[in-house]
Structure 1
Amino acid sequence: MNMNRRKMISLWLCTSLFFFSSELCCSYAAQMTVPVAAMGNHQPVKITYSREELLQLRPNPNTDGPSNLNLNYNPKPRKRGRRGGIKGRLRRLNRLPLPTVIFGNAQSLCNKLDQLEACMALQDFRESSLLCFTETWFKDQHTTADVSIDGFSCVRGDRDLHVTGKDGGGGVCAYINTRWCNNIKVVKKHCCQDVEFIVIALRPFYLPREIPQIFVSVAYVQQEGSRIEAGKKIAQEMRLLESESTDALKLVLGDFNHFMLKRALPHWHQYVKVPTRKDSILDECYGNIPNAYLAKAKNGIGKSDHNLIQLLPKYKQKLRKFNIIKKPVKIWSEVAINDLKDCFDRTDWDTFKSDSLDDTVERCSAYIKFCEDSIVPIKFVKIYANNKPWVSKELRLLMKEKYEMFKQGDFEASKIRQIEK
C-alpha cells in the first residue's frame, strides 16, 4: 500500500513539473540575460522577446522547403545477384570458350598504327584475342617490326603488284594476342584480281573439348573484280578445311563489298547484324557454328568511314549447356557369369512351357532378364556432352597410363605409349 502511494506521489510531482515548465516556455514575455561589452565595461543587458516573435522563428512547412517535393516518390528497387549481359558473363569467365574478335576496314593502317597502339589502353582492345583488318595498304618496304604491336603476333597478306596490276591499296592482316595463342600456322595466302585472303590455323592455350582448333580467314573482296569468282575461291578453301577438321571452328571475316558469302556457303551463319558503313553492312563475319557471336559496332580508326566490329562470344560449351547423364552399365565379370550359369542350371524350364509358342518365349525371356538383373552387378557411368564417341575404354586406359608415365618423368615410355594409341 505504501509502494502504491509513493508511485502516485512521484507521478503527481512529474506532472506538475511538466505543466510548470510549459507555462514558462509559453509565457508572454521571455527574458534572456546576455553579457555584452559596452564602453569597455562588462554589464549585463536584458533582451526581451514576445511570444509572437518566438513563434515566428519556427519554420513554416507550407512555405519553407522546395515546392516540387514529391512525397510519394518510390525509388526503384535495386536488383540483387550478378550483373547480366554477355560482357558481364565474359568478365566472370577465366577462360573464354571462343576468341573475342575486333575487325574492320582500316583504309591504310600504315598511318594509323600509333592510334591503334593508343587503343591498347582500352580493355576491349587489350584483351581481344584477334585484331583483323582489311585494306592495310602494306607494302614490301614495311617490315614486320614496323607494323608490329606489343603483345600481338602479326600475320599479313600484302597485295601483289604483278598479279593485280595495282600498285596501292588492298592487303589484309591479323594480329593474334600472344597471351591467348602462340601456336600459329599460316595455311594459305591468296591474292588475285577478285579477292585477297589469308587462312590461319590456331591452337590456343584453351579450347572446349568439342572444338579441336580454330581456322580464321581474313578476306577482302575487291569492288572491281568478280564477286561470284571470289565467293567460289573462298568456299573451295573452306571445304578443304571442313574435310581436314570437321569439328573445328571456322571464321571468314572481312570486307565483302555487298557480296553475300552465304550463297556459296549456304550452311554457314552470318553474325554481323549492325551497319558497318552508314546504313550498309559491308564488313561481315561467317562461321560454321550457329549463334556463336554477338556483334557490336565501335568507332573506326582515324578517318576511316568503316566502323570497327567487336565480336563477343555467346557460345556455351556443351559441358555447361547439357546435363550429365548417368547410364547404368552391367559388370560382366567371371564370378557374375558363373553365378548366372548356376542359376540357369538349377532352373526347371518345363514350368515355362505353354500351348502357345509366343507365351513360352515371353516367359523364358522375362525369367532370364530377371535372373540377369538380380545376379549381375550394375554401376552407373557418367556421360558428358563433350565426350568423343570414338574414345573407347581401352583408349582411356592407355591415356591414363601415358599420363602416369609422364608424371613420373619417363618421357620415352610415354612416347611409346603414344605410338601404341
Structure 2
Amino acid sequence: MATGTKKKSVQSRISMMAVGESNASSAKISPANEEDGPKMDISGLFAEMTKLGAILTSVAADVSHIKSDMVEFKNAISAIQTRMTEAEGRISDVENKMRSITEDNGKKAKKLEQLWARVDDQENRNCRKNVRLIGLKEGLESGGSINDYVMKILVDGLGLQGKEYELERCHRNLLQTLTRKVRRRRRGKRAGALVRLRRRGLRTVLPGIFLSNVRSLRNKMDELALMRSMNRDFASSCVLCFTELWLCEDIPDCALKLEGFHLLRADRQASLSGKTTGGGVCFYINSGWCTDVTVIAQHCSSSLEYLFIHCKPFYSPWEFASFILAAVYIPPDADVQAAQCALAEQILHMERTFPDSLIIALGDFNKANLSQELPKYKQYIKCPTREERTLDHCYSTISGAYRAVPRASLGLSDHVMVHLIPAYRQRLKLSKPVVRAKKLWSNEAVEELRTCLESTDWDTMKAASNCLDEFTDTVTSYIHFCEDSIVPSRTRLSYNNDKPWFTPKLKKLWLEKKNAFRSGERDCYTEAKYRFTKEVDIAKHQHSERMQQQILENNSASVWKSFRNITNYKPQQ
C-alpha cells in the first residue's frame, strides 16, 4: 500500500510540472525565474526516480521470495499426492487380501462343517448295534467290495446264512485309518561328524579345515567373500589353506583381506626357486578360533615350498597343548625324493621342538607321498581332488582324525575344494574316569595296625580252618580288613588323558589360578599364574629325571609303560 501511494505522488508531481512548463512557455517571466525553475524541478525528479528504483528493487526481492515459497509448496503438495497414491494402492492391496482371506475362511468353514458331519455320523454309527472285526488288513477283499468280504467271513466262519441277519453297511473305523496314516515322530537327534562340527562351532577338538589349490588367489576373493557370507560351514571353519596363490610382493595383504580371518602367506621367491610366477601357500586363520599365531618356519626352492605356523587356540583338548599347521606345495616337475626328505626332516625337527603339539601337514603334494619317510603319519584325503587322482594330501599322527568331503572348486581351478571335518573323539570322552584309592601311611597308622595284629588270636582262626588254603584265605582277609579299618585312604578321579607329570600339587595350584581369575584381582591372578607355571617346569623336570633313572636301572617295564602313556600306544587285541 505504501508503494502504490508513492507512485501516485510522483505521477501527480510530474503532471504538475508539465502543466507549469506549458504555462511558462505562454507567459513572460523574468530571466532569473527562467534559469532557477527548470534546475529545481529536474533535481527533484531525479531524487524521486532514485527512491522509486529502490522501492522496485525491494518489490522484486519480495516477489522472488514468494516464487521460491510457491515452488516449495508445489513440491510438498506433489510429494503428499505421491504418498497418498501409494497409500491408496497399499490400502487396495490390503482390502483385496482381506477379501480373499474372508473367502478362504468361508470355504474352510464349510469344509469343516462337512468333516464334522462325517465324524458325527461315524460316532453315531459306532453307538449302534455293530459287529466290530479287529485285525483285518487293507486289501484282503482282493478288489471286491468289503460288504461281500464280510458276508463271506460270516458264512464260512460262523455258519450264518443271509436270511438270519442283514448287513446295513460295512466300513473301516475312521480312528484306525487315521492312526495308520499318521507317522510317528522320530526321537533323538542327528549324529555324524559334520553335525558335531556345526553344533560345537569354533570350540572343536581339532580345527575344521578347508583345503584347495586355487590357481591364483587374487581373482577369487569375491567368491571367497560370498562363501563366507552364505556358507555356514565355510564361515565357521577354523583354518583355510590355499596353494598356488600366484602372488608377488607388489600385492599387499589388504587386497587379500577376508573378514573375520587373519592372513599368513608365503609367496614364491624368484631368487630361491628360479621361477618368477606361480607357487605360493597361505593360511587364513579364523579370529574366533585363534589369535595367538606365529610363523616358525618358511622355505622356498624349486622342489618344495612350505609354511609352518604355531597356533595356540582359545580352546583345545587336554592332550594337545597347541597345533602346528604346515601348508605344503610340491610342483609337478620337482625332485620328489629330495622334497619328501626335506619336508620329513622339518616335521621331525618340529616334533622335537614342540613335543606336546599336534602337527598337521596339508597341501598339494602332486606325486609325493610321506608314507615311507613318516610311516606313523596317516593320510586322510581318499577322494579324487583333480580328475581321477588324489593330489591334495593331509597328514597327522592320529588315526581317523579327519573325514574328507569334496566340495565345489573355486572359480576355474582344476582342483576340488576339500572340507576336512574333525572326526577325532578326545580321550576324555572315550572312557569313564576311574576312581583310584591311595593309602595314607603314617607312623601312627603303622603302630596302630601292629598293635591290632599282635593282639589277634591266630590259633582260633587255625582251629576253625580245615586246610592250609582256607587258613591262608582267612588270615589274608583279616589283614586286609584291619588295614582298611585303621589306615586312612584318599580317593581321586583318574582320567585317561591325565599327564604323567601332573601331580596333585599342580592340580591344587591350577584350581587356585582358576579361582584367582574368577575373582578379578589382577595381582592375585598374576602371582597364581607364575606359581603354576614354575611348578609345571619343576614337575616336568622331575618326571624326566625319573624316566632317566628307570633307564639307568634297567627297569624296562616302567620305561615301556611311560612310553605308552606318552605315545598313547595300545597293543592290538
Tell me, yes or no, if structure 1 residue 88 matches structure 2 residue 88.
no
**What's the TM-score, normalizing by structure 2?**
0.56
Q: Which residue of 1 aligns with 2:395?
A: 286
Structure 1, residues 25-84: CA drift from partner, whole Å, max 9, x if none? Answer: xxxxxxxxxxxxxxxxxxxxxxxxxxxxxxxxxxxxxxxxxxxxxxxx978755321023
Q: Which residue of 1 aligns with 2:449?
A: 340
Q: Which residue of 1 aligns with 2:214?
A: 106
Q: Which residue of 1 aligns with 2:129?
A: none
The answer to whether the 8 A contact 2:445-2:486 is kept is: yes
Tell me, yes or no, if structure 1 residue 153 matches structure 2 residue 262.
yes
For 1:136, give the aligned amino acid: L
Structure with greater strand percent: 1
Classify the secondary structure of the residue corresponding to 2:205. Answer: coil
Q: Which residue of 2 aligns with 1:217?
A: 326
Q: In terms of mean alpha carbon deviation, does 255-264 or 178-187 score higher?
A: 255-264
User: In structure 1, what is the Cα distance between the partners aligned to 2:417 and 2:266?
Assistant: 20
Structure 1, residues 72-110: CA drift from partner, whole Å, max 9, x if none? Answer: x97875532102322222223352111110011000111
Classify the secondary structure of the residue corresponding to 1:264. Answer: coil
Classify the secondary structure of the residue corresponding to 1:297. Answer: strand
Structure 1, residues 301-332: CA drift from partner, whole Å, max 9, x if none? Answer: 11011100000101111111111112232233
Q: Which residue of 1 aligns with 2:225?
A: 117
Match of 1:237 among 339, 346, 357: 346
Q: Which residue of 1 aligns with 2:488?
A: 377
The answer to whether the 8 A contact 1:172-1:220 is kept is: yes
* Deviation, structure 1 residue 359: 11
Classify the secondary structure of the residue corresponding to 2:328. Answer: strand
Tell me, yes or no, if structure 1 residue 267 matches structure 2 residue 376.
yes
* Deviation, structure 1 residue 419: 5.8
* Residues 394 and 128 (structure 1), Cα distance of their counterparts in 2 relative to 1, 3 Å cut: same
Classify the secondary structure of the residue corresponding to 2:247. Answer: coil
Match of 1:394 among 487, 505, 508: 505
Q: Which residue of 2 aligns with 1:258?
A: 367
* Residues 245 and 365 (structure 1), Cα distance of their counterparts in 2 relative to 1, 3 Å cut: farther
User: In structure 1, what is the Cα distance between the partners aligned to 2:305 and 2:314?
Assistant: 29
* Deviation, structure 1 residue 171: 0.4
Q: Which has the higher contact order (CA 8 A, sep 6+)?
A: 1
User: In structure 2, what is the Cα distance between the partners aligned to 1:377 and 1:316?
Assistant: 37
The answer to whether the 8 A contact 2:310-2:323 is kept is: yes
Classify the secondary structure of the residue corresponding to 1:184. Answer: strand
* Deviation, structure 1 residue 345: 4.1
The answer to whether the 8 A contact 1:201-1:213 is kept is: yes
Tell me, yes or no, if structure 1 residue 170 matches structure 2 residue 284.
no
* Residues 351 and 240 (structure 1), Cα distance of their counterparts in 2 relative to 1, 3 Å cut: farther
Structure 1, residues 165-193: CA drift from partner, whole Å, max 9, x if none? Answer: 11100000110000110010101000011
User: In structure 1, what is the Cα distance between the partners aligned to 2:294 and 2:324?
Assistant: 10
User: In structure 2, what is the Cα distance between the partners aligned to 1:309 and 1:174?
Assistant: 15
Flag structure 1 segments of 5+ consecutive residues without an equivalent: 1-72
Tell me, yes or no, if structure 1 residue 328 matches structure 2 residue 437.
yes
Structure with greater helix percent: 2
The answer to whether the 8 A contact 1:132-1:175 is kept is: yes
Structure 1, residues 110-152: CA drift from partner, whole Å, max 9, x if none? Answer: 1111111111121121111111100001100011111121111
The answer to whether the 8 A contact 1:324-1:385 is kept is: yes
Q: In terms of mean alpha carbon deviation, does 254-263 or 361-370 score higher?
A: 361-370
**What is the total number of aligned residue pairs between the two structures?**
349
For 1:259, give the aligned amino acid: A
User: In structure 1, what is the Cα distance between the partners aligned to 2:277 and 2:253?
Assistant: 18
User: In structure 2, what is the Cα distance between the partners aligned to 1:414 and 1:383?
Assistant: 24
The answer to whether the 8 A contact 1:201-1:215 is kept is: yes
* Deviation, structure 1 residue 420: 4.4
Q: How does 1:347-366 map to 2 (within 5 A)?
A: 347=456
Tell me, yes or no, if structure 1 residue 310 matches structure 2 residue 449.
no
Flag structure 2 segments of 5+ consecutive residues without an equivalent: 1-179, 536-573
The answer to whether the 8 A contact 1:297-1:310 is kept is: yes
Classify the secondary structure of the residue corresponding to 1:309. Answer: strand
Q: Which residue of 2 aligns with 1:414?
A: 528
* Deviation, structure 1 residue 402: 4.1
Classify the secondary structure of the residue corresponding to 2:371. Answer: helix
Larger-Rg structure? 2
* Deviation, structure 1 residue 290: 0.7
Classify the secondary structure of the residue corresponding to 1:320. Answer: helix
Classify the secondary structure of the residue corresponding to 1:374. Answer: helix
Structure 1, residues 153-176: CA drift from partner, whole Å, max 9, x if none? Answer: 101011010111111000001100
The answer to whether the 8 A contact 1:405-1:413 is kept is: no
The answer to whether the 8 A contact 1:161-1:167 is kept is: yes
* RMSD over equivalenced CA pairs, Å: 2.8
Q: In terms of mean alpha carbon deviation, does 94-103 or 206-215 score higher?
A: 94-103
Structure 1, residues 5-35: CA drift from partner, whole Å, max 9, x if none? Answer: xxxxxxxxxxxxxxxxxxxxxxxxxxxxxxx
Q: In terms of mean alpha carbon deviation, does 380-389 or 212-221 score higher?
A: 380-389
Q: In terms of mean alpha carbon deviation, does 86-95 or 143-152 score higher?
A: 86-95
